[in-house]
Structure 1
Amino acid sequence: MAAPDENPRWDEQLQRRLARGEETALGELYDRLSPMVHGLAGRVLGDQAAAAQLTREIFAHAWEHPEEFDPAQGSMRSWLGTLTHRRAVDRLRAARAAEFVPSGAAPTGTAQTGTSQTGTTQTGATPTEATERAAEEEIRAVATAARMQYVVDSLPGPLRETIAVTYYDGRTYQETARLLGISEQSAKQRMRLGLDLLATELAEERARHGDDPGDPGGAGGTAHGGPGEGRGDGTANDGTTGDGGT
């Protein structure tokens, strides 16, 4: 599935221009893809100032290392998206590690023992370990949600709009059809096609990048409430199915 910004010939030409040191190429790349980079960084970090800083770093990296982009592995959009997502997750993980380690806590990996009312010794996770697990679960949830939105954003406009209105806004097919000025049948077909393309893109992302929450395609599953969860049959809130009328 090709995203709106994915043009293999443009990608390769831009890479060659960056390698030659053409500043206009960097400006063109920034104009086209900075909204995606900044949006993805912001969804992961939850901080617009940090997202702006990371966006600058990503384009500086593209300027300094255009040779790292391999057109055979995907589009320029995919390359920058992967780089942004990985760095944002790493930054979030570092911030959480610094934030949640209390002063005087037991070192990570040590066990906390105690005696129960029956006199037996019990061993459990230390507060630090529990906090680290909670922080990591939060990071994975944020990374997954950001990855899902990244993929949704790559869908063709009409399909992306239908998924947003039907799924994220919690509307029925009838409501979606009225809002978008299309037939209910078209709303169902768009939803089904959008979900099929979304599932395909997620599978391709996982194949390219592995099961790593630091990559847009590798968070190991769909986000809670995301379009891939509980909607594989295109079911809307009114209980109808989006299979084109069946």
Structure 2
Amino acid sequence: MALVTRAAERPGGGDRSTDVDLMALVRAGEASGLEQLYDRYSRPAYSLARRILGDAGLAEDVLQEVFMALWRQPAKYDPSRGGFSSWLLAMTHHKAVDSVRREETLRRRRAKAAEDDETLIGEAGGGPDIDDQVLTSLQRDGVRRALRELPQVQREAVTLAYFGGYTQREVAALTGAPLGTVKTRMLAGMRRLRDILGGPAFSKLALDEGAGL
């Protein structure tokens, strides 16, 4: 199934069906369910992938990969383990990190074939250091694993902010919870994550990546 509209240009969907309803359509092989989920979540998923990869084309590739995986294996989403939006963004994060690693492998092969590592390193100067990107991605992986230990409502709120970059008001609108409740869930969730992951490294990463917290 082709999802060809660029996420940065795609308008948001106005359909009021729940994510669970749309996933039921996807499981039944109904393309309309996937199209509505794409309308609803392609923009935040694309933004997340681009923030990790720093490249619009690679981010588009990851977005297509995420929704094709959803179409082919819809049973991988388990509603009992959390909201659809947080699950989709977590999958986007995982695939974007995989893309970073693939790009690093390709760069290493090109460097070896060129027989002049110093020249290649000089040509690559000025851009973000790929090793730093992978390290930060691995740190995010640790946070993602720790998120599984949170209660579902805290995990959903923190994931939307941490992985999706949403503000508290936007998280409230997405989850249908009052703003005060969202603030309480996010504060409790962030404190619990800090306890699990231990200290300053997490605090700095959370501040850098979760600007809407």
Give yes or no for TM over 0.5: yes
- Paired residues of 1:38 and 1:52 also in contact (CA < 8 A): yes
1:150 — aligned with what? Answer: 163
- Paired residues of 1:144 and 1:223 also in contact (CA < 8 A): no
Normalising by structure 1, what TM-score?
0.49
Cα distance 1:52–1:203, how it changes in 2: closer, same or farther (>3 A)? farther
Which has more helix, going by share of residues?
2
Structure 1 vs Structure 2 CA RMSD:
4.3
Gaps of 5+ in 2: 1-16, 114-128, 142-158, 173-178
Cα distance 1:95–1:201, how it changes in 2: closer, same or farther (>3 A)? same
Which has more strand, going by share of residues?
1
- Does residue 141 (structure 1) correspond to residue 149 (structure 2)? The answer is no
Q: How many residues align?
A: 153
Structure number with bigger Rg: 1
Cα distance 1:223–1:59, how it changes in 2: closer, same or farther (>3 A)? farther
CA distance in 1, matches of 2:68, 2:40: 15
1:128 — aligned with what? Answer: none
Q: CA deviation at 1:158?
A: 9.2
Where does 1:58-97 land on structure 2 (aligned, <5 Å)?
Answer: 58-97=66-105
- Does residue 200 (structure 1) correspond to residue 189 (structure 2)? The answer is yes
Runs of 4+ in 1 over 3 A off after TM superposition: 134-137, 142-149, 193-196, 201-204, 222-225
Q: CA deviation at 1:28?
A: 0.8
1:226 — aligned with what? Answer: 207
Q: Deviations over 1:27-57 (max 9, x none)?
A: 1101110011101110111111111121111
Gaps of 5+ in 1: 1-8, 105-133, 160-189, 212-219, 235-246
Q: Percent identity?
A: 23
Cα distance 1:201–1:60, how it changes in 2: closer, same or farther (>3 A)? farther
1:174 — aligned with what? Answer: none
Q: CA deviation at 1:157?
A: 3.4
CA distance in 2, matches of 1:56, 1:137: 26
Q: Deviations over 1:199-246 (max 9, x none)?
A: 616857x98xxx8xxxxxxxx7244582689x9xx9xxxxxxxxxxxx
Normalising by structure 2, what TM-score?
0.55
1:103 — aligned with what? Answer: 112
